[in-house]
Amino acid sequence: MVQVQVRGTAFIIPANYMESSAARAGGELDSLVLSALFPSWRGYSEADARLFAGNAPDSPVIRLSLRGDPNNLDPEARLERIYMPYMVDRKGAAGPFGLTQYSFAKESGYERNDLFAGRSGNKLVLLLCERESGDLPSPNCLAIDRPLAPNLSFSYRFKRAYLARWQEVSAGADMLIAKFRKR
């Protein structure tokens, strides 16, 4: 077990979840990346090394990032301030898996992505998902930064192949962070 503080928030985390060997020394960090397998949420092991090293379109690795974030925008504010100015339609459309899907304007910088919004419990979850293409055969979805504590945000990345299970991914990521957070 490794004791770390990320921007003043304390965590106790098994070393096999930490991607960086430097982070395994513990102490105060500005950011931290964790990896776990979906849907078991277990950390790295020699038996699963092949899964952690792969980048297949259906790779089960979830990467969770904790990082200092002085802006600390909640998902509603982030949707309005960061993404809405680049949308084709501010209302979005009914998307797959109970999500609202937003399309970005061409030449917005986001045009190769889809933005999905959905509710997990009482929380809005924003998922910025890359579209598969010839030069991107293994697209990801990023659950965009969510405030975790003052000056600390949390996001996670998973393969777009798991978008149908976004609620399970969201709940599992929240559970894992809560489990590691020292209160």
* Model pTM above 0.95: no
pLDDT class for 68, splitting at 50, 70, 90?
confident
Own/partner long-range contacts of 175-181 (Cβ < 8 Å, ≥24 apart): 175/41, 176/34, 176/36, 176/41, 176/64, 177/64, 177/66, 177/148, 180/11, 180/12, 180/13, 180/17, 180/34, 181/9, 181/10, 181/11
Q: Residues 35-51, buried b or exposed e (16+ Cβ, 10 A)? A: bbbbeeeebbeeebeee
Average pLDDT over residues 101-109: 92
**What pLDDT does 121 receive?**
81
pLDDT category of residue 150 using cuts at 50, 70 and 90: confident
